[in-house]
Amino acid sequence: MISSFSTTLKSGAIGNIQANSKKYFKGYHKLLLLKWQQIFGKENLIVRLFDKSEFYQGDLLKDFVHSIGLKWDNEFVIPPKQNESLDLIGVEILRRVNNLLPLFVNEDRNYLRGDLNYFIQKYFSSKDLFLKFQPPKEIIQSYIDSFEESNEWVRKEFFPYKERLFPKQDLANYKENYELKEMKPEYWNKISEFIADIVKTKN
C-alpha cells in the first residue's frame, strides 16, 4: 500500500493516504487470477507469494528464475532498485508540487515538470526511520481487511496446505508516521541539494 501511494504521487496525485486508500478494492488477487486462469488455464499458472520467507534462497529474482525452471547464473546483470517508496519529505514536497504543476495539462504531459520524479526519487527515498512513511493504523487495518476474502480464496485454490496465505499482522506495536512534525537541519540541506541539482540541470 505504501509503495502504491508513492507511485500515485509520482503519477500526479495530490490527495492524502486516506483518499488514495479508497482505491483498493476487495477481490483484487482473486479477480486477477481468474482472468489469467480463463485465458491460460489454471494448470499453466505459477502462483508465488510476495514474501521474502517464501522466496527461493530468500531472493526475489532467484525465486522467479527457479519458478520458471531456469538455472541461476552469477553472471546475470542485476539492475539497481527503481521506484523505491518516498520518505516523508518526498511525500510532502511532491504532493504540493503536483498541485502547482499537474502531471498533465489539457490531456498533454506537462513539460514544465521536466525530470521532477527522477530528482524526487534521488533525494527523498531515505531509509531514515524518522522519515519512513507509516500511514495511520486504521488505514493499514482497512487495507488488510479489504484483501482478507481474496487472500483466503487464493489460499484455497493455490496454497491449500497453508493455514493462512500470509501471517496475521499484529498492529499492537505499529508506529504511525505520516506527518513531518520536525524539520532538522539535515532535512533542509537535502532540500537545498535537491533544488540546486534541478537548477544546475536546467542551466
pLDDT digit string, tens, across residues 36-87: 999 999 999 999 999 999 999 999 999 999 999 999 999 999 888 777 889 9
Residue 149 lies in a domain: yes
All residues at 6 or more sequence positions from 195 whose CB lies less than 8 Å from its CB, including other chains: none
Residue 164 lies in a domain: yes
Q: What string of H, E and C letters represents the secondary structure of 99-165?
A: HHCCCEECCEECHHHCCHHHHHHHHCCCCCHHHCCECCHHHHHHHHHHHHHHHHHHHHHHCCCCCCC
pLDDT at 21 over 60: no
Domain that holds residue 155: 2-21+81-202
Residue 71 lies in a domain: no
All residues at 6 or more sequence positions from 60 whose CB lies less than 8 Å from its CB, including other chains: 50, 52
Residue 60 lies in a domain: no
Residue 160 lies in a domain: yes
Q: How many domains does the chain have?
A: 1
**pLDDT, averaged across the chain:** 89
- Residue 56 sits at the vertex; the CA angle it makes with 55 and 61, to the nearest 5 degrees, is 75
pLDDT digit string, tens, across residues 95-140: 999 999 998 898 898 898 889 999 999 999 988 889 999 999 988 8
Taking the C-alpha atoms of residue 159 and residue 154, their distance in angstroms, rounded to an integer, is 7
Is 114 within 8 Å of 97 (Cβ atoms)? Answer: no
Residue 94 lies in a domain: yes
Average pLDDT estimate for 136-151: 88
DSSP per residue, 67-98: HTTPPP-TT--PPPP-SPPP-HHHHHHHHHHH
Regarding beta strands 108-109 and 104-105, do their DSSP bridges make them parallel or antiparallel, or are they unpaired? Answer: antiparallel
pTM: 0.78
Length of the chain equals 203
